[in-house]
Amino acid sequence: MSDTNRYSSVIPPEVAEQAKDFFHQGAQVLAPYLINLTPDERIQLPKMGDKSIPFVTKGAEYLRIPSSPAPPYLNPEDLVVDLNAFETIRQIRQIVQPIADMLDDTMLLCGSEAYVAVLAFYTYLKGAAKMNVAGAKTIFDDLSTRFPSRPAKKEKVA
């Protein structure tokens, strides 16, 4: 195992509870205004990215001008509601996304360091079990369930 341990902090339980309560409260406050899409819906929907925002904003402004030619099936008020909701949610997401990214990165690093440490322990146990070190085989056998043995390859007869 490496001598470098990039993460060695302990989040106090009260801090973890405070953060969970905070995010839970935020989720409850926003829940009436948010939806879940199916994976198919996510694929099929046209996406408005950073390059499309000026286009959509400008188009919405034109649609609000009474003399602008527009198809009768478009409702400019609905478009304004959608555009305002998009902007509000985008602003909230700009605050939340970096935190979610750091949570993912920190969790990945902690998990990786823990996994590498136990892999080193497992490798040590494998050798210790072969040398009949007391207790090593029992622990090795228990941990080895993580790596189910593969069926033996049949030799090809020429």
Question: Within a domain: residue 6?
Answer: no
Mean of pLDDT over the chain: 92
Range of the domain at 20: 13-146
Q: Exposed/middle/buried for 76, CB within 10 Å: 0-12, 13-18, 19+?
A: middle
Q: Where are the alpha helices (DSSP H) in 64-75?
A: none
**Dihedral sign from CA coordinates of 6, 11, 17, 22:** negative
Question: Within a domain: residue 72?
Answer: yes
Cα 56 → chain centroid: 29
Question: Within a domain: residue 86?
Answer: yes
Question: Within a domain: residue 7?
Answer: no
Question: Within a domain: residue 117?
Answer: yes
What is the Cβ-side half-sphere exposure of residue 2, based on CA atoms within 13 angstroms?
Answer: 9
Tens digits of residue pLDDT in 16-46: 999 999 999 999 999 999 999 999 999 999 9
**Higher model confidence: residue 122 or residue 1?**
122
Residues 92, 115 contacting (CB under 8 angstroms): no
Q: How far apart are CA 83 and CA 53, in angstroms?
A: 9
Question: Within a domain: residue 96?
Answer: yes
Question: Within a domain: residue 126?
Answer: yes
Question: Within a domain: residue 73?
Answer: yes
76-130 helix and 52-63 helix, angle to the nearest 10 degrees: 160
pLDDT for res 149: 77
pLDDT confidence tier of residue 2, bands split at 50, 70 and 90: low
Q: How far apart are CA 59 and CA 65, in angstroms?
A: 10
Token pair of 154 as six digits = 């049949």
- How many domains, the chain? 1
Full-model pTM: 0.77
Tens digits of residue pLDDT in 131-146: 999 999 999 999 999 9
Q: Per-residue DSSP letters for 94-130?
A: HHHHHHHHHHHHHHHHHHHHHHHHHHHHHHHHHHHHH
